[in-house]
Structure 1
Amino acid sequence: MIHGAVPLLHDYLIHSAGRLGDKVALVCNGRRVTYAELDECSNGIGQCLVRAGVQRGDRVMIFADNTVETVVSFWAVLKANAVVCIVNPLTKSDKLDYLLNDCRPAALITDRHLHSVFGEPAHMCRSLRQLIVSGPIEDDELSRLPHAIRWETAAERNSVAPARKSIDIDLAAIIYTSGSTGEPKGVMLTHRNMTTACTSIASYLELREDEVILDVLPLAFDYGLYQMLMAFYTGARLVLERSFAFPAQILQVIKDERITGFPGVPTIFASLAELKSLKDHDFSSIRYVTNTAAALPLKHITMLRELFKGARIYSMYGLTECKRCTYLPPEDLERKPLSVGIAIPNTEMWIVDDNDRRVEPGTVGQLVIRGATVMKGYWGKPEATARKLKPGPLPGEQVLYTGDYCRMDEEGYLYFIGRGDEIIKSRGEKVAPKEVENVLMNIPGVKEAAVVGVPDEILGQAVKAFVVIEQGRIVGERQLRMECQKRLENFMVPKSIVIVPSLPRTDTGKLKKVALS
């Protein structure tokens, strides 16, 4: 653990490497990497970025899978006094182009196997001064990329980090999240935002140096990213997997690595519930299990308790704009199974009505969060920022209006009701209906489209689309689905598409989504 002055985020790696240099910090894709190796390799990448002209406050985008290179790059960007932005490797080329134009990064770190996605957008991005490519790549292919060098060239281990210039109110990361407009918004988080959230969560999870934390969630997803941050903060070990696509393989990893921490989402727990012979597996090493969506279904709670006997089970709720809002102490799970809990340490919360007045217990209203975890704002979007950050109860401060509707009981325990901005939470990912609708509307023959979230036992919510076809055109559900698969990440593709003659509207002509299901 780090004591004394408030650290910068990358001090987590530096301090743990200083204390535990020979300890294996990361297990990933068959590789075992020590704290010292991560520290020195990230110094090398950091120095390379500085030589390329990356300056304090510049953005550096990482477009890659959950790999050793992604982990190293994250810390390297921070050491270069820059702002890190990890992008989901499932992102399509058009969206990556948007993100590059919005973020205007000075450098892009990626992998050769994603060349078909990043190639053209990288050429079009005028802000790029360095492109670092991992994986096998031919000389002629590398030479055709702008400002490109191989990962191996950039990553020479170095005992000296770039000169330290950042302070804790500087931006550390921009994490993109979808919004109701359909345009991804970059959540700006300072070093102080992220270190506060990390220490708060680590404290109530009671994390220890001997933890072995499993991470099957994308590092581009803040829930996945914070598993790495908390592991390196405590000097623990992170076991990083690309996904939970092959559950039997992950169960073997749990056994082989003696996993102690298992963060999941409803989709993962639903997949576990469908597996046969679970009782034949040894889960005795698991000390805690976490869930970060809405409250777990009762059948999942029962299943997890039976499966991970003796483990602490945490139901949690949060949003990227402040990382985490609440957690339900494991001892309260039985008496308040539908609650997402109490405010995390060093955070306050309350609920207001439409007139910004605090409401009585049991009344549904908008949740407001106060604390050092609250974001700096949305990158390049002052109007969207002003809708979320408003003056707080004390002079000169701003608090977060989440846009989520909740109620609180007499004891201060929170119950999540719904997301006010229509965001769909599917497979643990946020889906903006407008973004899916925009894709559908661009398909020839489509007249109108509306997308909603419907309850789903496995996904939490499933994406459902209603489409009106232009008169005289023939467009089938299969064609619509294929076009969506070409242009959207997998979790955004509608599970069901219904072709309808018209969409319901109000008397004033506005789309009436409440009539769709």
Structure 2
Amino acid sequence: MTAAHAVLTLARRGLLNPGSPLRVARQISVLRHWGYGLGGSLLSAAARSPSRVALIDSSGSLSYAALSSSALAMAGALRSSQGMGPGDRVGVLFDNGRDFVVSVAALSLLGADAVLINTGFSPTQVAAVVRDHGLRLVLDAPSLPLLPLPLSLPLLPPGRPGRTVVLTSGTTGTPKGARRPHPGGPGPLAAILDRIPVRAGSRMFIAAPLFHTWGYASLQLAIGLRATVVLSPRFSPASAASLVRSHGCSSVFAVPVMLSRLLEAGCALPGVRVVAVSGSALPGDLATRFMSVHGKVLYNLYGSTEVSWASVATPAELLRSPGTAGRPPRGTRLMVLSPSGSPVPPGIVGRIFVGNSMLFEGYTGGDLPAPAAVDGLLATGDLGRLDDSGLLTVVGRADDMVISGGENVFPSAVEDLLARLDGVREAAVVGVPDPEFGERLAAFVVRSPGATLSANDVRDHVRRLGARFAVPRDVHFVPSLPRTTTGKIIKRSLGELDR
């Protein structure tokens, strides 16, 4: 993205509107000294709009001035009582709320690395994260009252900017961490705003978990926009609809399964102009069903912890192709490559590679190999195809592809077919060992309430609409699908159920 286009994008979203000359000068000075990390962005927002409400959670509301003061106080306490400083790694273990925001901002101001820990981890998994990632401290609810607040402790910008470490897996065993880079300017903010039209100063409900890449990116976006962030520790359709209505939220940031739950519960999001989702694929016709209720408001961002964003699908693109991942924002390169590393023609499946200004800086927590790279682009680990107009469709993980009797089958294609079958609430498909064909497909189906769907109904539906070799030989009806706290289906657990 060129500097001119970045400025134009920021202006279109209201970030360059005129303000008090003194406050604008302070805002620029803060960014020059503290940078564009979460801590610097928070101080900058407080300098420009101190009285604006920054955050609303179950404990009430905080202005930008109050939120930045809390972050500075915690940073001082961590330095004076714990000796924390640049380069130290500290775990952050909170549900969505002010404690998470204050803690991560404080660590950013210290130059320390914040390791975002999944609140669904067991004590054993948390202990493994502490050990394998070299954490000096874990901030959680019991630990905060132990931190004495300093009376007066000047805090200067650290010589080393703090990093954020996002744990990329960990449903079983020890997760790996990905070091997120420190934003070098407003470019990353402009790149997302180029495709997702959120306005400065608006109210945003972030339903996605903040410890997840998408939830944390949404928080960074909100602070960069000097928006009001509305948070809730747990998602439910009724509470989400109530929060959006009572606080006048114009945008919602969520994961796809949350949209399914809202539709099932008949809970609408009144007055919302942007609903942005990421974290997993949009199944079946979820996009069009959601927009039939809410209008043309849905944006689907495809990315990963390693590459940040790759592409964004707009409402018009989702109406044209409900499963599309869209196209890359300006300044992002995306290619679909063959095994030899050459671009494949439109319509042909290949490996997805992405390059932008926020590629991750490597893994933590062990000696782990970096993703494959080609010409400055990183592999996402997914397979996909581009159409003639440049729209991307992700067909699944490279290691999820099933080879049955010599035929390549993508489970996501079968899942999309099952999502359109009456009586199916949700479904997942995996490959399981087969002595004759090498692998065979097994479908795990959750029936809609009151549905009397049979295994033959499932097979006949796929047989009518899909390829012969895509018909699942095994059909299991289960009460629910195992999911991570970010909404992803844990497919390896399904494979174990079939044995």
Q: Which residue of the partner structure matches residue 255 of structure 2? A: 265
Q: 2:202 aligns with which of 211, 222, 228?
A: 211
Q: 1:77 aligns with which of 79, 94, 107?
A: 107
Distance 2:125 2:93 in 1: 12
Q: Is the 8 A contact 2:286 2:322 kept in 1?
A: no
SS in structure 2 at match of 1:7: coil
SS in structure 1 at match of 2:200: coil
C-alpha displacement of 1:180? 11
1:413 to 1:334, Cα distance in 2 relative to 1, 3 A: same
Q: How does 1:316-465 map to 2 (within 5 A)?
A: 316-385=301-370, 388-390=371-373, 392-393=374-375, 398-422=376-400, 455=415, 457=419, 461=428
Distance 1:496 1:382 in 2: 28
Q: Which amino acid aligns with 1:48?
A: A
Q: 2:83 aligns with which of 25, 48, 53?
A: 53
Q: Which residue of the partner structure matches residue 289 of structure 2? A: 303
C-alpha displacement of 1:421? 3.6
C-alpha displacement of 1:489? 11
Q: Which residue of the partner structure matches residue 104 of structure 1? A: 134
Q: Which amino acid aligns with 2:278?
A: T
Q: 2:179 aligns with which of 188, 195, 198?
A: 188
C-alpha displacement of 1:315? 1.9
Q: 2:265 aligns with which of 265, 272, 275?
A: 275
Root mean square deviation, CA, Å = 3.4
Q: Which amino acid aligns with 2:353?
A: V
SS in structure 2 at match of 1:40: helix
1:372-430 per-position Cα deviation (integer Å, ceiling 9, x unaligned): 11111111545422xx153x43xxxx43112211111122211101112449xxxxxxx
SS in structure 1 at match of 2:339: coil
Q: Is the 8 A contact 1:290 1:315 kept in 2?
A: yes
Question: Aligned pair 1:240/2:231, yes or no?
Answer: yes
Q: Is the 8 A contact 1:215 1:263 kept in 2?
A: yes
C-alpha displacement of 1:10? 2.0
Q: 2:213 aligns with which of 219, 222, 226?
A: 222
C-alpha displacement of 1:304? 2.0
Q: Which amino acid aligns with 1:412?
A: G
SS in structure 2 at match of 1:290: strand
Q: Which residue of the partner structure matches residue 426 of structure 1? A: none
SS in structure 2 at match of 1:253: helix
Q: 1:32 aligns with which of 23, 39, 61?
A: 61
1:174 to 1:193, Cα distance in 2 relative to 1, 3 A: farther
Q: Which amino acid aligns with 2:394?
A: F
Q: Which residue of the partner structure matches residue 274 of structure 2? A: 288
Q: Which amino acid aligns with 1:45?
A: M
Q: Which residue of the partner structure matches residue 455 of structure 2? A: none
Q: Is the 8 A contact 1:171 1:188 kept in 2?
A: no
Q: Which amino acid aligns with 1:253?
A: L
1:270 to 1:233, Cα distance in 2 relative to 1, 3 A: same
SS in structure 1 at match of 2:257: helix
Distance 2:194 2:497 in 1: 47
Q: Is the 8 A contact 1:352 1:368 kept in 2?
A: yes
C-alpha displacement of 1:294? 5.1
Q: Quote the sequence identity (%).
A: 22
Q: Which residue of the partner structure matches residue 133 of structure 1? A: 144
Q: Is the 8 A contact 2:317 2:324 kept in 1?
A: no
Q: How does 1:135-214 map to 2 (within 5 A)?
A: 150-151=146-147, 153-154=148-149, 162-166=155-159, 170=161, 172-178=163-169, 183-192=174-183, 196-214=187-205
1:185-240 per-position Cα deviation (integer Å, ceiling 9, x unaligned): 11011112796544421332122123111112211111111221111101110000
C-alpha displacement of 1:344? 2.2
Distance 1:274 1:223 in 2: 23
1:344 to 1:243, Cα distance in 2 relative to 1, 3 A: farther
Q: Which amino acid aligns with 1:172?
A: R
1:327 to 1:41, Cα distance in 2 relative to 1, 3 A: same
Aligned residue-pair number: 404
Q: 1:15 aligns with which of 11, 30, 44?
A: 44
1:194 to 1:292, Cα distance in 2 relative to 1, 3 A: farther
- Structure 2, unpaired ranges of 5+: 1-14, 16-26, 402-410, 420-424, 434-477
Q: Which residue of the partner structure matches residue 95 of structure 2? A: 65
1:166 to 1:306, Cα distance in 2 relative to 1, 3 A: farther
Q: Which amino acid aligns with 1:401?
A: A
SS in structure 2 at match of 1:69: helix
Q: Is the 8 A contact 2:249 2:272 kept in 1?
A: yes
Q: Is the 8 A contact 2:169 2:175 kept in 1?
A: yes
1:38-72 per-position Cα deviation (integer Å, ceiling 9, x unaligned): 10111011111222221211111111222211111
Distance 1:39 1:463 in 2: 47
1:297 to 1:105, Cα distance in 2 relative to 1, 3 A: closer
Per the normalisation by structure 1, the TM-score is 0.70
Distance 2:281 2:116 in 1: 28
Q: Is the 8 A contact 2:36 2:185 kept in 1?
A: no
Q: Which amino acid aligns with 1:342?
A: R
1:439-498 per-position Cα deviation (integer Å, ceiling 9, x unaligned): xxxxxxxxxxxxx999474567478999xxxxxxxxxxxxxx9xxx9x999975946964
Distance 1:340 1:9 in 2: 27
Which range moves more in the overlay, 488-497 or 350-359? 488-497
Q: Which amino acid aligns with 1:405?
A: L
